[in-house]
Amino acid sequence: MLLKKRPQALLFDLDGTLADTILQLAKAAKSTACALGLKEPSLDETRGYVGNGVQMLLKRAIAGHFEVKDGEVSDELLTKARALFNDFYTKGLHDNYTVYPHVEETLRWCKDNGIKIAVVTNKPAMFSEPLLKIMGLYDLFDMVLGGEILDKKKPDPTPLLFVLDKLGINKEQACMVGDSANDIIPANSVNIPAVFFTFGYCRGNIEDMSQPDYKFDNWMQFLNMLKELPV
- Name the active-site residue from 13, 15, 179, 183: 13
Kind of pairing between the strands at 98-99 and 116-124 = unpaired
Q: How far is CA 25 from CA 30, 31, 85, in A?
A: 9, 10, 9
Q: How far is CA 158 from the centre of its chain?
A: 15
Q: Which one, of 87, 79, 89, lies nearest residue 50 by Cα? A: 89
Give the integer Cα–Cα distance in Å for 175 and 1: 10
Give Dmax over CA atoms of the chain in angstroms.
57
Give the integer Cα–Cα distance in Å for 79 and 162: 28
Look at phi and psi of residue 204 and say left if phi exceeds 0, alpha if psi is from -120 to 50, else beta. left
Query: Known catalytic residue: 13?
Result: yes
Q: Which one, of 65, 38, 176, lies nearest residue 119 by Cα? A: 176
Q: How far is CA 62 from CA 45, 73, 76, in A?
A: 11, 7, 12
Beta bridge pairs of residue 9? 116, 174
Residues annotated catalytic, as ranges: 13
